[in-house]
Amino acid sequence: MSVCNVSAESSIATVVEAMLPRGGSAPDNEPWRAGEVPTKALYIKLKLSLSHYDDDGDEDHESAFIHLIFCRPTNYTKVFACVNNEWAMPGPDQWTMKSDHDSGWRSDGMRDISKTYLRCLHELRKTIGRDKGKLNISEFNTIDGIEWVQITWKDDPNDSRHRYRKLLTSISKGA
């Protein structure tokens, strides 16, 4: 257990800012064409784990993986997310675009972190019930992996009014 909590959202935003500056996803020596050309992106995998230990040493556990992809070909940052129980990187069809904004990506782009934490906490509390007394919960919020990927995307056909939402069409490791 740590002495203080560190905000996962702030930590991840700091990593993204340091490793992938604005415009850092744009291809070298060729004009960038939105979504058509493989674009450099940063893949971050977060493991969230909550455990309850009772006085007899029995453990109840809830966990999830939060997968995030950050792409910054222009001044805006695109954030794609997938929450599941799998360690492996999800396929392109499993991701949802959460943000495409110059500053709002730090909040709305990573909202799944808080939502997943609250869901896991709710499930753990349901599992242990009220008869187990005081809650002794250990929390682990670990960046489980950071790597460069190449992505392509297309406009979401169900978002024809705004043309904001994108669907990932490919993800490959390396940059």
- pTM for this entry: 0.86
Residue 29 lies in a domain: no
What is the rounded CA–CA span in Å between residue 80 and residue 104? 13
* pLDDT at 55 exceeding the cut of 90: no
Task: Determine the structural domain holding residue 118 and report its residue range.
Answer: 8-23+37-173
Is residue 16 within 8 A of residue 127, CB to CB? The reply is no
**pLDDT of 129:** 75
Q: How many domains does the chain have?
A: 1
Q: What are phi and psi of 69, to 5 degrees?
A: -125, 130
**pLDDT of 27:** 67
Residue 2 lies in a domain: no
**pLDDT of 134:** 57
Residue 135 lies in a domain: yes
**pLDDT of 39:** 87
